[in-house]
């Protein structure tokens, strides 16, 4: 499964989401949208909104640290 | 440099200061005369008083008590809190550096009434310039507010865009000198607001008089900065309108604590005082560990 996490450095939910993925040994690509403009647009297009974190799990878009949804996509 | 800056001089903040000052921590309390208990004319359920007391009386006694013990108390408004190696707490006049900060700011402010404000959250409406400013690079944005905090937010936005309008929603700008100078850089629109409109994202803002303007982003900085505004910028976890703390009143950021109504617990003087004391004890431990 390919996982991409769109995040910013100051967002606490982004840290929580990434820590959660780490705890489950899930590999992911971490993209800082505050620095990468095209990634920011990409995130907005995929999720229809401008909040972080956004997780793209094999094309499934998860907005926010939605643990239940993340679990349902993996386990 | 202070050992601790306490934001808010109500029961939680003042109670905490009694502990930190008696542990010889250099303590500064900054707060406005805006405590929720000012409205409590008759208090009968706060331990220790055989007669009915007023909130005003309790606040005054608390302030006198803290001052007597050496706490510095400043009647002012905090505009922002930042963390680097230490905390920087900014009012309109000065910046105070501190090893620890306690948020004891009370219940969050009443939100601005604007139709569709909630609907466009994340789609044009934001409550945090430093968090979301970059999404609005070179776009036309507004700041909803009329006090120092609104101007502060507008200045933060200048990094990202030059097209900034302050929407005061019918209010007069209420600014301190430092921010009056800075306010001159921005367009100000005082017309009372009606609603926001757009498709998937925010596109227009409508006024009561029927006119409207194009707009791509609106940053809400209404009235004064609340604990939630500080929370967003610092990246601490909040649950709805409340700051999340552990049983020691610690947030998820080292050195940053919260106590009282802003933590969303049972909103009473008794609990605020207790939480302030818990926070005080942990702050002492934290500062000594540095």
Per-residue pLDDT tens over the stretch B104-148: 999 876 678 899 999 999 999 999 998 899 999 999 999 999 999
Query: Are B216 and B202 spatial neighbours (Cβ–Cβ below 8 Å)?
Result: yes
Give the domains, in start order, of chain B with CATH numbers: 2-109+226-289 (3.50.50.60), 118-220 (3.50.50.60)
Instruction: Tell me: ipTM over 0.85.
Output: no
CA distance B204 to B196: 6
pLDDT tens-digit readout, B27-82: 999 999 989 999 899 999 999 999 999 999 999 999 999 999 999 999 999 999 99
Rounded Cα gap, residues B284 and B45, in angstroms: 30
- Give the separation between CA B114 and CA B93, rounded to whole angstroms: 31
Asked whether the beta carbons of B153 and B129 are under 8 A apart, the reply is: yes
Task: Identify the band that residue B221 occupies on the pLDDT scale cut at 50, 70 and 90.
Answer: very high
Give the list of residues 6+ apart from residue B264 with CB closer than 8 angstroms, or none: B239, B240, B241, B242, B243
Give the long-range contacts of residues B56-59, CB within 8 A, separation 24 or more. B58/B11, B58/B269, B59/B9, B59/B10, B59/B11, B59/B14, B59/B35
Contact call for B122 and A51, based on CB within 8 A: yes
User: What is the least distance, in Å, from the CA of A51 to any CA of chain B?
Assistant: 5
Q: Does B138 touch chain A (CB under 8 A)?
A: no
The predicted model scores a pTM of 0.89
Query: Tell me, what's the pLDDT at B241?
Result: 87
What is the mean pLDDT of the segment spanning B210-234? 93
Contacts A34 to B, Cβ<8 Å: 134
pLDDT, tens only, B150-164: 999 999 999 999 999
Q: B190-199 pLDDT, tens per residue?
A: 999 999 999 9
Coil, helix or strand for B156?
helix
Nearest neighbour of B122 by CB, restricted to A10, A40, A50? A50
The tokens for B246 are: 């552990």
User: Across the interface, which of A11, A13, A34 has its CB nearest the CB of B134?
Assistant: A34
Q: How many Cβ contacts (< 8 angstroms) between chains A and B?
A: 34
Bridge-based pairing of strands B27-31 and B72-75 is parallel
């Amino acid at each position: 499964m390919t996982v991409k996490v769109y995040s910013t450095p100051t967002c606490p939910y982004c840290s929580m989401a990434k820590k959660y993925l780490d705890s489950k040994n899930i590999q992911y690509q971490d993209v800082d949208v505050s620095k990468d403009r095209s990634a920011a647009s990409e995130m907005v297009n995929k999720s229809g909104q401008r909040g972080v974190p956004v997780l793209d799990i094999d094309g499934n878009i998860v907005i926010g640290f939605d643990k239940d949804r993340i679990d349902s996509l993996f386990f | 440099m202070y050992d601790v800056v306490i934001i808010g001089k109500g029961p939680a903040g003042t109670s905490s200061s009694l502990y930190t000052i008696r542990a010889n921590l250099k303590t500064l309390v900054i707060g406005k005369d805006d405590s929720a208990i000012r409205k409590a004319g008759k208090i009968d359920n706060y331990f220790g008083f055989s007669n009915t007391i007023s909130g005003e009386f309790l606040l005054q006694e608390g302030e006198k008590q803290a001052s007597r013990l050496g706490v510095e108390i400043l009647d002012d408004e905090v505009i922002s809190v930042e963390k680097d190696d230490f905390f920087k707490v900014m009012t309109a006049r000065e910046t105070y550096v501190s090893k620890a900060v306690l948020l004891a700011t009370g219940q969050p402010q009443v939100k601005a009434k604007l139709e569709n404000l909630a609907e466009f959250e994340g789609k044009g409406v934001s409550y945090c310039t430093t968090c979301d400013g970059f999404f609005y690079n070179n776009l036309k944005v507004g700041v909803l507010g009329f006090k120092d905090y609104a101007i502060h937010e507008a200045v933060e936005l200048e990094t990202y865009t030059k097209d900034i309008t302050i929407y005061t929603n019918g209010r007069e700008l209420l600014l301190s000198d430092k921010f009056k100078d800075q306010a001159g850089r921005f367009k100000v629109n005082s017309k009372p607001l009606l609603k926001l409109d757009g498709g998937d994202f925010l596109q227009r803002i409508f006024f009561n008089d029927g006119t409207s303007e194009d707009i791509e982003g609106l940053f809400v900085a209404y009235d004064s900065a609340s604990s939630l505004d500080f929370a967003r910028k610092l990246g601490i976890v909040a649950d709805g309108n409340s700051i999340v703390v552990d049983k020691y009143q610690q947030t998820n950021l080292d050195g940053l604590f919260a106590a009282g109504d802003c933590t969303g617990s049972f909103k009473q003087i008794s609990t605020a005082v207790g939480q302030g004391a818990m926070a005080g004890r942990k702050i002492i431990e934290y500062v000594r560990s540095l």
